[in-house]
Amino acid sequence: MKSIIIIGDGMSDLPVERLGGKTPLMVAHKPHIDRVAREGRMGRLRTIGETGPADSAVANLAVLGYDASASSQGRAVLEAASMGVAVADGDVALRCNLACVEGPVDDRRIKNHSAGHISTEEATELIQALDAELGGGRGPMPVRLHAGVSYRHLMVLPGGWASSAVECAPPHDHVGGRVADLRPKTREVKGEDPARAALTAGRLIELYRRAVPILENHPVNVARRAAGKDEANVIWTWSPGRRPTMKTLHELYGVRGAVISAVDLVMGLGVYAGMDLIRVPGATGLHDTNYEGKAEAALDALADHDFVYLHVEATDEAAHSRDLDLKIKCIEYLDQRLVRLILDGLENRGIEATIAILPDHPTPVESGQHGRDPVPVAIRRPGETPDATERYDEEQAARGGLGLMVGDEFMRRVV
């Protein structure tokens, strides 16, 4: 049987005072997502451990049934795979945000993690300028910078001199935080040399410092200042890791899969998991993404794939921005512009398929940070008796017939 997994990134939440103690999922108008819950069975899935990083790499690996503690090497190496950037066995890759900081020099704070959601065209100019000045793979501690999408870029430390045993603060989890308190520092990692870790942390701090005047004087930022927009006035490196080793989903479950996302992290995970990558024009990772195009691409992919992993980032970005109204709107967009089309498409094309809906992790809108609570799951499988749940939200999931799933239980139910 075919199957499709729909990820509404970060859409689960905690009770919000402004909503009278309800969550965005409880108040959003989402009849089609609720239909999946009503006609299927609900439960919860633990995707983030009680300790360790609460990041999207760990969460999406967990959704797909991987042991994240063994497979996760940070999101940067996954994004590199999606971007076609080679990461050799001795290299260390890091995510490199273009971010905006504000305040006096001795008390700089993170204003936002995205440089005001800078355009890809502007960001590419900045990254190319930084690579020309700081990178290019030259010198005894070489660095290469690779342009991605919007504020999301990649730094590779090639040549075997660097260590992944560096603790870096994800900027989206520290909006308002003091830069001085969030500098890279060493951490203990089995098999990593502490001296190299210290060298790496120092090099990242140096690159941050050297990038500031380059960015400040670049014509892109001069124009953004003049237009009253947030500047991309710093680089922020985080999520260091090395090339991972993991089995493909075909080896684990005997299925051929495809992945659809606007986010390089998720597409790169697809590369290592052996999935085919489907890129949809107009997929942005924001609320203005091409929901309809993603739905159509997913239905088409079921013709020659066993399952499709369909990821939508918009709800997570809204929550990181602490925009409650936008998060609710993004849930409703997911329902009306994607889930509705998939349900109708399955029926019109005569496709029997299991459909599962869940977030990869919670992103509570009041904190803007990833949470660790288990996520609500709805699975509708043709011919399977539904449980007593009536709508899709956190409370209903806790009472659902699937209970609390861990490890690969979710994937084995779906595929």
Give per-residue pLDDT as tens, 291-310.
999 999 999 999 999 999 99
Q: What is the mean pLDDT of residues 212-230?
A: 97
Q: Is residue 214 assigned to a domain? A: yes
- Which spans in 217-303 are helix H? 219-226, 249-253, 264-272, 291-301
The backbone torsions φ and ψ at residue 351, rounded to the nearest 5 degrees and listed phi first, read: -95, 125
Regarding whether 388 and 259 lie in a shared domain, the answer is yes
**134 with 170: CB under 8 angstroms?**
no
Single-letter amino acid code for the residue at 336: Q
- Structural domain span for residue 130: 86-241
Determine the pLDDT at residue 138: 84
Q: Is residue 271 assigned to a domain? A: yes
Determine the pLDDT at residue 70: 64
Determine the pLDDT at residue 215: 98
Please say if the pLDDT value at position 74 is more than 80. Answer: no
Q: What is the mean pLDDT of residues 18-28?
A: 98
Mean pLDDT of all residues in the chain?
94
**Non-local CB neighbours of 347 within 8 Å, separated by 6+ positions:** none
Q: What percent of the chain has pLDDT over 90?
A: 85
Regarding whether 302 and 223 lie in a shared domain, the answer is no
The tokens describing 24, both together, are 């965005």
Regarding whether 264 and 212 lie in a shared domain, the answer is no
Q: Is residue 37 assigned to a domain? A: yes
Q: Is residue 79 assigned to a domain? A: no
- Which spans in 135-248 are helix H? 194-216, 219-226
Q: Give the residue from 59, 85, 58, 88 showing the smallest Cα distance to 73.
A: 58
Residue 132: CB atoms within 10 A of its CB come to 11
The tokens describing 176, both together, are 């308002």
Q: Is residue 78 assigned to a domain? A: no
pTM, whole model, 2 decimals? Answer: 0.79
Q: Is residue 133 assigned to a domain? A: yes
Regarding whether 188 and 136 lie in a shared domain, the answer is yes
The lowest-confidence range among 64-73, 330-339, 397-406 is 64-73
Determine the pLDDT at residue 23: 98
Could you give the number of structural domains in the chain?
2
Please say if the pLDDT value at position 264 is more than 90. Answer: no
Single-letter amino acid code for the residue at 215: L
The lowest-confidence range among 80-89, 93-102, 382-391 is 80-89
Cα–Cα distance between 46 and 41 in angstroms, integer?
Answer: 17
Regarding whether 291 and 142 lie in a shared domain, the answer is no
Regarding whether 282 and 166 lie in a shared domain, the answer is no
Cα–Cα distance between 112 and 215 in angstroms, integer?
Answer: 16
Q: What percent of the chain has pLDDT over 70?
A: 99
Residue where a domain stops, chosen among 207, 241, 275: 241
**47 with 355: CB under 8 angstroms?**
no
Regarding whether 287 and 356 lie in a shared domain, the answer is yes
Q: Is residue 77 assigned to a domain? A: no
Q: What is the mean pLDDT of residues 200-206?
A: 97
Q: Give the residue from 74, 80, 234, 79 showing the smallest Cα distance to 165.
A: 74
Regarding whether 8 and 47 lie in a shared domain, the answer is yes
Regarding whether 228 and 125 lie in a shared domain, the answer is yes
Please say if the pLDDT value at position 72 is more than 90. Answer: no
The CATH number for 30's domain is: 3.40.720.10
Regarding whether 133 and 119 lie in a shared domain, the answer is yes
The tokens describing 361, both together, are 């992790």
Residue where a domain stops, chosen among 204, 221, 241: 241
Q: Which single residue is written with the structure tokens 């939508």?
A: 312
Regarding whether 130 and 188 lie in a shared domain, the answer is yes
Determine the pLDDT at residue 71: 61
Please say if the pLDDT value at position 249 is more than 80. Answer: yes
**46 with 251: CB under 8 angstroms?**
no
Single-letter amino acid code for the residue at 102: E
Regarding whether 144 and 64 lie in a shared domain, the answer is no
Please say if the pLDDT value at position 186 is more than 70. Answer: yes
Q: Is residue 344 assigned to a domain? A: yes
Please say if the pLDDT value at position 10 is more than 70. Answer: yes
Residue where a domain stops, chosen among 241, 259, 277: 241
Cα angle: 326, vertex 127, 72; to 5 degrees: 65
